[in-house]
Structure 1
Amino acid sequence: MTDRIARKLEELGLSLPEAAAPVAAYVPIVEAGGMLHLSGQLPFRDGQLITGRLGDGVSLEDGQAAARACGLMIVAQLKKYLNGDLSRVKRIVKLGVFVNSHADFTDQPKVANGASELMVALFGDEGRHARSAVGVPVLPLGAAVEIDAIVQLG
Protein backbone atom coordinates (compact mmCIF):
# COMPACT_ATOMS: atom_id res chain seq x y z
CA MET A 1 0.00 0.00 0.00
CA THR A 2 2.90 2.36 0.71
CA ASP A 3 3.94 2.33 -2.96
CA ARG A 4 0.33 2.73 -4.06
CA ILE A 5 -0.08 5.78 -1.84
CA ALA A 6 3.20 7.27 -3.07
CA ARG A 7 2.05 6.78 -6.68
CA LYS A 8 -1.35 8.29 -5.94
CA LEU A 9 0.22 11.32 -4.27
CA GLU A 10 2.40 11.80 -7.34
CA GLU A 11 -0.62 11.46 -9.66
CA LEU A 12 -2.45 14.12 -7.62
CA GLY A 13 0.58 16.42 -7.68
CA LEU A 14 0.82 16.27 -3.89
CA SER A 15 3.61 15.45 -1.47
CA LEU A 16 3.67 14.69 2.22
CA PRO A 17 4.98 17.40 4.50
CA GLU A 18 7.46 16.71 7.28
CA ALA A 19 5.46 15.34 10.25
CA ALA A 20 4.94 18.29 12.60
CA ALA A 21 6.24 18.16 16.14
CA PRO A 22 3.71 18.76 18.94
CA VAL A 23 3.29 22.41 19.95
CA ALA A 24 2.22 21.61 23.55
CA ALA A 25 2.13 18.77 26.11
CA TYR A 26 0.85 15.84 24.01
CA VAL A 27 2.05 13.18 21.58
CA PRO A 28 1.01 13.02 17.91
CA ILE A 29 -0.27 9.42 18.06
CA VAL A 30 -1.42 7.01 20.77
CA GLU A 31 -1.85 3.35 19.88
CA ALA A 32 -4.49 1.43 21.83
CA GLY A 33 -6.19 -1.85 20.95
CA GLY A 34 -5.07 -1.89 17.32
CA MET A 35 -6.26 1.67 16.78
CA LEU A 36 -4.20 4.80 16.30
CA HIS A 37 -5.63 7.99 17.80
CA LEU A 38 -4.07 10.99 16.10
CA SER A 39 -3.97 14.37 17.76
CA GLY A 40 -5.40 17.31 15.85
CA GLN A 41 -3.25 18.22 12.86
CA LEU A 42 -2.96 21.73 11.49
CA PRO A 43 -2.73 22.74 7.82
CA PHE A 44 0.66 23.65 6.44
CA ARG A 45 1.48 24.69 2.88
CA ASP A 46 5.14 25.11 1.97
CA GLY A 47 5.99 25.12 5.67
CA GLN A 48 3.56 27.94 6.45
CA LEU A 49 0.46 27.54 8.61
CA ILE A 50 -2.81 28.25 6.77
CA THR A 51 -4.69 30.68 9.00
CA GLY A 52 -7.93 32.64 8.97
CA ARG A 53 -11.66 32.22 9.40
CA LEU A 54 -14.07 30.67 6.90
CA GLY A 55 -16.77 33.12 5.95
CA ASP A 56 -14.57 36.03 7.02
CA GLY A 57 -11.79 36.36 4.47
CA VAL A 58 -11.15 32.66 3.79
CA SER A 59 -13.06 31.14 0.86
CA LEU A 60 -14.66 27.70 0.79
CA GLU A 61 -12.03 26.58 -1.73
CA ASP A 62 -9.21 27.78 0.53
CA GLY A 63 -10.86 25.98 3.45
CA GLN A 64 -11.01 22.76 1.43
CA ALA A 65 -7.33 23.16 0.57
CA ALA A 66 -6.57 23.67 4.29
CA ALA A 67 -8.51 20.49 5.14
CA ARG A 68 -6.58 18.60 2.44
CA ALA A 69 -3.35 19.93 3.99
CA CYS A 70 -4.48 18.58 7.38
CA GLY A 71 -5.16 15.24 5.70
CA LEU A 72 -1.66 15.21 4.24
CA MET A 73 -0.26 15.90 7.71
CA ILE A 74 -2.29 13.00 9.10
CA VAL A 75 -0.74 10.68 6.49
CA ALA A 76 2.71 12.12 7.23
CA GLN A 77 2.23 11.41 10.94
CA LEU A 78 1.07 7.86 10.15
CA LYS A 79 4.06 7.28 7.90
CA LYS A 80 6.46 8.50 10.59
CA TYR A 81 4.82 6.46 13.36
CA LEU A 82 4.72 3.31 11.21
CA ASN A 83 8.36 3.73 10.10
CA GLY A 84 7.29 4.31 6.52
CA ASP A 85 5.01 1.25 6.32
CA LEU A 86 1.59 2.64 5.39
CA SER A 87 0.55 -0.89 4.37
CA ARG A 88 -0.25 -1.41 8.07
CA VAL A 89 -3.20 1.00 7.74
CA LYS A 90 -6.31 -1.17 7.55
CA ARG A 91 -8.93 1.57 7.72
CA ILE A 92 -9.39 5.29 8.23
CA VAL A 93 -12.11 4.99 10.87
CA LYS A 94 -13.03 8.58 11.70
CA LEU A 95 -12.01 12.17 11.06
CA GLY A 96 -12.94 14.99 13.42
CA VAL A 97 -12.84 18.25 11.49
CA PHE A 98 -12.80 21.61 13.25
CA VAL A 99 -13.32 24.66 11.04
CA ASN A 100 -12.44 28.17 12.22
CA SER A 101 -15.75 29.75 11.18
CA HIS A 102 -17.61 33.02 11.23
CA ALA A 103 -20.96 32.62 13.03
CA ASP A 104 -22.87 32.76 9.71
CA PHE A 105 -20.71 30.15 7.93
CA THR A 106 -22.49 26.79 7.63
CA ASP A 107 -20.49 24.87 5.01
CA GLN A 108 -18.22 23.00 7.44
CA PRO A 109 -19.09 19.65 5.78
CA LYS A 110 -17.96 21.01 2.40
CA VAL A 111 -14.69 22.18 3.96
CA ALA A 112 -14.18 18.74 5.53
CA ASN A 113 -14.57 17.12 2.12
CA GLY A 114 -11.06 18.37 1.32
CA ALA A 115 -9.67 15.79 3.77
CA SER A 116 -12.33 13.12 3.26
CA GLU A 117 -11.86 12.99 -0.49
CA LEU A 118 -8.08 12.80 -0.01
CA MET A 119 -8.41 9.76 2.28
CA VAL A 120 -10.56 7.94 -0.29
CA ALA A 121 -8.20 8.91 -3.11
CA LEU A 122 -5.19 7.57 -1.19
CA PHE A 123 -6.61 4.54 0.63
CA GLY A 124 -9.54 3.54 -1.60
CA ASP A 125 -12.50 1.94 0.20
CA GLU A 126 -10.36 1.67 3.35
CA GLY A 127 -10.28 5.48 3.33
CA ARG A 128 -14.07 5.81 3.66
CA HIS A 129 -14.72 6.94 7.21
CA ALA A 130 -17.15 8.31 9.75
CA ARG A 131 -16.77 12.04 10.31
CA SER A 132 -17.80 15.07 12.27
CA ALA A 133 -17.41 18.61 10.93
CA VAL A 134 -17.98 21.46 13.35
CA GLY A 135 -17.51 25.20 13.31
CA VAL A 136 -15.49 26.79 16.09
CA PRO A 137 -14.73 30.46 16.81
CA VAL A 138 -10.95 30.00 17.07
CA LEU A 139 -8.29 27.32 16.60
CA PRO A 140 -4.70 27.07 17.88
CA LEU A 141 -2.32 29.55 16.28
CA GLY A 142 -5.23 30.97 14.24
CA ALA A 143 -5.37 27.88 12.00
CA ALA A 144 -8.20 27.74 9.48
CA VAL A 145 -8.82 24.00 10.06
CA GLU A 146 -7.71 21.29 12.48
CA ILE A 147 -8.37 17.57 12.02
CA ASP A 148 -7.90 14.59 14.31
CA ALA A 149 -8.28 10.96 13.29
CA ILE A 150 -8.80 7.39 14.38
CA VAL A 151 -7.06 4.78 12.23
CA GLN A 152 -7.28 0.98 12.44
CA LEU A 153 -4.11 -1.05 11.99
CA GLY A 154 -4.06 -4.36 10.13
Structure 2
Amino acid sequence: MSHIDAKLSELGLKLPDAPAPAANYIPYVVSGKLVFVSGQISIAEDGTLITGKVGADLDTEAGARAAARCALSLLAQAKAACGGDFNRLKRVVKLTGFVNSTPDYAEQPKVVNGASDLLVAVLGEAGRHSRSAVSAGALPLGVAVEIEGIFELE
Protein backbone atom coordinates (compact mmCIF):
# COMPACT_ATOMS: atom_id res chain seq x y z
CA MET A 1 0.00 0.00 0.00
CA SER A 2 1.37 3.40 -0.96
CA HIS A 3 1.43 6.35 1.44
CA ILE A 4 -1.35 7.90 -0.69
CA ASP A 5 -3.58 4.85 -0.29
CA ALA A 6 -2.82 4.87 3.44
CA LYS A 7 -3.69 8.58 3.74
CA LEU A 8 -6.97 8.07 1.85
CA SER A 9 -7.84 5.26 4.25
CA GLU A 10 -6.87 7.35 7.27
CA LEU A 11 -9.17 10.15 6.06
CA GLY A 12 -12.01 7.68 5.46
CA LEU A 13 -11.94 8.34 1.73
CA LYS A 14 -12.43 5.76 -0.99
CA LEU A 15 -11.38 6.29 -4.57
CA PRO A 16 -14.11 5.62 -7.09
CA ASP A 17 -13.36 3.43 -10.06
CA ALA A 18 -11.63 5.55 -12.69
CA PRO A 19 -14.63 6.79 -14.68
CA ALA A 20 -14.82 5.75 -18.32
CA PRO A 21 -15.09 8.53 -20.90
CA ALA A 22 -18.60 9.58 -21.84
CA ALA A 23 -17.71 10.68 -25.39
CA ASN A 24 -14.93 10.53 -28.00
CA TYR A 25 -11.90 11.17 -25.79
CA ILE A 26 -9.62 9.27 -23.45
CA PRO A 27 -9.57 9.77 -19.68
CA TYR A 28 -5.91 10.78 -19.51
CA VAL A 29 -2.82 11.26 -21.64
CA VAL A 30 0.71 10.67 -20.40
CA SER A 31 3.29 12.89 -22.11
CA GLY A 32 6.78 12.61 -20.71
CA LYS A 33 6.45 12.97 -16.95
CA LEU A 34 3.09 14.72 -17.11
CA VAL A 35 -0.39 13.22 -16.91
CA PHE A 36 -3.22 15.31 -18.36
CA VAL A 37 -6.49 14.10 -16.85
CA SER A 38 -9.70 14.93 -18.69
CA GLY A 39 -12.41 16.81 -16.84
CA GLN A 40 -13.99 14.78 -14.05
CA ILE A 41 -17.59 15.58 -13.20
CA SER A 42 -19.22 15.69 -9.79
CA ILE A 43 -20.47 12.19 -8.96
CA ALA A 44 -21.65 11.27 -5.46
CA GLU A 45 -20.32 8.22 -3.63
CA ASP A 46 -23.47 6.28 -4.57
CA GLY A 47 -22.81 6.94 -8.28
CA THR A 48 -25.49 9.58 -8.80
CA LEU A 49 -24.62 12.84 -10.45
CA ILE A 50 -24.31 15.93 -8.27
CA THR A 51 -26.29 18.37 -10.38
CA GLY A 52 -27.58 21.92 -10.21
CA LYS A 53 -26.40 25.48 -10.29
CA VAL A 54 -24.29 26.79 -7.45
CA GLY A 55 -25.88 30.00 -6.26
CA ALA A 56 -29.40 28.70 -6.94
CA ASP A 57 -29.75 24.95 -6.32
CA LEU A 58 -26.61 24.47 -4.22
CA ASP A 59 -24.76 26.71 -1.79
CA THR A 60 -20.99 27.21 -1.75
CA GLU A 61 -20.39 24.40 0.77
CA ALA A 62 -22.37 21.89 -1.32
CA GLY A 63 -20.42 23.01 -4.38
CA ALA A 64 -17.14 22.48 -2.51
CA ARG A 65 -18.25 18.94 -1.58
CA ALA A 66 -19.02 18.31 -5.26
CA ALA A 67 -15.54 19.59 -6.17
CA ALA A 68 -13.97 17.24 -3.62
CA ARG A 69 -15.73 14.34 -5.37
CA CYS A 70 -14.17 15.52 -8.64
CA ALA A 71 -10.76 15.46 -6.95
CA LEU A 72 -11.25 11.84 -5.92
CA SER A 73 -12.02 10.96 -9.55
CA LEU A 74 -8.92 12.88 -10.64
CA LEU A 75 -6.85 10.81 -8.21
CA ALA A 76 -8.46 7.61 -9.52
CA GLN A 77 -7.46 8.56 -13.08
CA ALA A 78 -3.95 9.53 -11.96
CA LYS A 79 -3.59 6.15 -10.23
CA ALA A 80 -4.69 4.41 -13.44
CA ALA A 81 -2.12 6.45 -15.36
CA CYS A 82 0.51 5.24 -12.87
CA GLY A 83 -0.41 1.64 -13.63
CA GLY A 84 -1.99 1.38 -10.18
CA ASP A 85 1.24 2.42 -8.42
CA PHE A 86 0.61 5.67 -6.53
CA ASN A 87 4.31 5.72 -5.60
CA ARG A 88 4.93 7.04 -9.14
CA LEU A 89 2.82 10.16 -8.48
CA LYS A 90 5.13 13.09 -7.71
CA ARG A 91 2.74 16.05 -7.48
CA VAL A 92 -0.33 17.89 -8.68
CA VAL A 93 0.73 20.59 -11.13
CA LYS A 94 -2.51 22.36 -12.08
CA LEU A 95 -6.28 22.18 -11.76
CA THR A 96 -8.86 23.91 -13.90
CA GLY A 97 -12.25 23.99 -12.22
CA PHE A 98 -15.56 24.78 -13.88
CA VAL A 99 -18.50 25.67 -11.65
CA ASN A 100 -22.06 25.54 -13.01
CA SER A 101 -23.21 28.75 -11.39
CA THR A 102 -25.66 31.59 -11.70
CA PRO A 103 -24.50 34.74 -13.53
CA ASP A 104 -24.20 36.73 -10.29
CA TYR A 105 -22.40 34.02 -8.29
CA ALA A 106 -18.78 35.00 -7.51
CA GLU A 107 -17.42 32.33 -5.14
CA GLN A 108 -16.08 29.86 -7.71
CA PRO A 109 -12.66 29.81 -5.98
CA LYS A 110 -14.31 28.72 -2.71
CA VAL A 111 -16.09 25.91 -4.55
CA VAL A 112 -12.91 24.65 -6.22
CA ASN A 113 -11.18 24.85 -2.82
CA GLY A 114 -13.08 21.63 -2.09
CA ALA A 115 -10.85 19.86 -4.60
CA SER A 116 -7.68 21.73 -3.66
CA ASP A 117 -8.17 21.10 0.06
CA LEU A 118 -8.75 17.38 -0.52
CA LEU A 119 -5.62 17.04 -2.65
CA VAL A 120 -3.48 18.80 -0.04
CA ALA A 121 -5.02 16.69 2.74
CA VAL A 122 -4.15 13.50 0.84
CA LEU A 123 -0.83 14.46 -0.77
CA GLY A 124 0.57 17.12 1.57
CA GLU A 125 2.90 19.60 -0.15
CA ALA A 126 2.77 17.49 -3.34
CA GLY A 127 -0.92 18.35 -3.53
CA ARG A 128 -0.32 22.12 -3.79
CA HIS A 129 -0.90 23.31 -7.33
CA SER A 130 -1.62 26.21 -9.63
CA ARG A 131 -5.29 26.63 -10.45
CA SER A 132 -8.08 28.35 -12.29
CA ALA A 133 -11.69 28.47 -11.07
CA VAL A 134 -14.25 29.74 -13.54
CA SER A 135 -17.99 29.99 -13.90
CA ALA A 136 -19.87 28.02 -16.53
CA GLY A 137 -23.41 28.69 -17.67
CA ALA A 138 -23.96 24.94 -17.97
CA LEU A 139 -21.92 21.75 -17.66
CA PRO A 140 -22.39 18.27 -19.18
CA LEU A 141 -25.35 16.33 -17.78
CA GLY A 142 -26.23 19.33 -15.62
CA VAL A 143 -23.47 18.57 -13.10
CA ALA A 144 -22.47 21.20 -10.57
CA VAL A 145 -18.69 20.98 -11.02
CA GLU A 146 -16.14 19.64 -13.51
CA ILE A 147 -12.40 19.70 -12.88
CA GLU A 148 -9.45 18.71 -15.04
CA GLY A 149 -5.93 18.21 -13.76
CA ILE A 150 -2.28 17.93 -14.65
CA PHE A 151 -0.08 15.65 -12.53
CA GLU A 152 3.65 14.95 -12.56
CA LEU A 153 5.09 11.43 -12.35
CA GLU A 154 8.41 10.29 -10.93
Partners in 2 of 1:86 and 1:9 — Cα distance?
12
What is the CA-CA distance between 1:12 and the residue it aligns to? 1.8
1:10-89 pair list within 5 angstroms: 10-45=9-44, 46-89=46-89
Amino acid at match of 2:109: P
2:136 aligned with 1:136:
yes
Partners in 2 of 1:23 and 1:41 — Cα distance?
10
What is the CA-CA distance between 1:33 and the residue it aligns to? 2.2
Kindly indicate which of the two structures has a greater share of residues assigned to strand.
1
Partners in 2 of 1:83 and 1:35 — Cα distance?
14
Q: Secondary structure at the match of 2:138?
A: coil
Partners in 1 of 2:32 and 2:82 — Cα distance?
16
Instruction: Please list every run of 5 or more consecutive structure 2 residues that lacks an aligned counterpart in the other structure.
Output: none
How large is the RMSD of aligned CA atoms in angstroms? 1.0
Percent identity of equivalent pairs: 51
What is the CA-CA distance between 1:87 and the residue it aligns to? 1.0
Is the 8 Å Cα contact of residues 99 and 108 (structure 2) preserved in structure 1? yes
Instruction: Please list every run of 5 or more consecutive structure 1 residues that lacks an aligned counterpart in the other structure.
Output: none
User: How high is the TM-score relative to the length of structure 2?
Assistant: 0.96
Amino acid at match of 1:36: V
Q: Secondary structure at the match of 2:122?
A: helix
User: How high is the TM-score relative to the length of structure 1?
Assistant: 0.96
Question: How many residue pairs get matched?
Answer: 153
Q: Secondary structure at the match of 1:64?
A: helix
